[in-house]
Amino acid sequence: MRRVSVALGRRRESVKAPPTEWVAAQGFISKCDPFGKKWQRRWFAFDGRMLVYSAGPDKEVKGRVDLWAIGCEVFASADGDGATVKKAPPTDFSICITQPGSERGAMRLAFNSASERDAWLGWLEKGQAAASRGGGGGSGGVAAAD
């Protein structure tokens, strides 16, 4: 199982999704709510450091994950490791982002295929590798508004 360290935070931002000219990856992904009760289709964009999500490409950012921050793990998971999910994901291909001791628990993302999940996991790993070469540290996060 491949793992990437990240950190989750709790700050809501009133900004739009990142401009597409500096986005490394983007697209709709299913995201489980923080309570594990429902899955929502969200637009995700990744710029090599920040993974942000919103209701759509031109909508207000609802949350973010700073891959250059310290403390969490991202891993491919078909069985929900690290997450309490009460409703089954829409597919068997998911990524779980966890932070030990976080009151928010885990963020679970479900993809349409293993290849789509693996591509996103690869991009997240590259972002984390960039941080270890001289990028970051600090606090970042998921501003959870779902």
Question: What would the pLDDT profile of 54-84 be if each residue is shown by its tens digit?
Answer: 999 999 999 887 777 655 567 776 554 444 5
| Model pLDDT, residue 72 | 54
Report d(CA 5, CA 75) in Å as an integer: 9
Mean pLDDT of 35-40: 87
- DSSP state, residue 20: G
Question: What would the pLDDT profile of 95-142 be if each residue is shown by its tens digit?
Answer: 887 655 556 667 889 999 999 999 998 888 787 777 777 654 443 443
Contact at 8 Å (CB) between 27 and 72? Answer: no
Q: Where are the domains of the chain?
A: 3-132
Which helix (H) or strand (E) covers residue 132, if one does?
helix 114-132
| Model pLDDT, residue 64 | 83
Contact at 8 Å (CB) between 61 and 142? Answer: no
pTM for the model stands at: 0.70
Q: In what order do the strands lie in the sheet with 93-98?
A: 3-6, 72-77, 93-98, 106-111, 25-32, 39-46, 50-54, 61-66
* Overall CATH class of domain 3-132: mainly beta
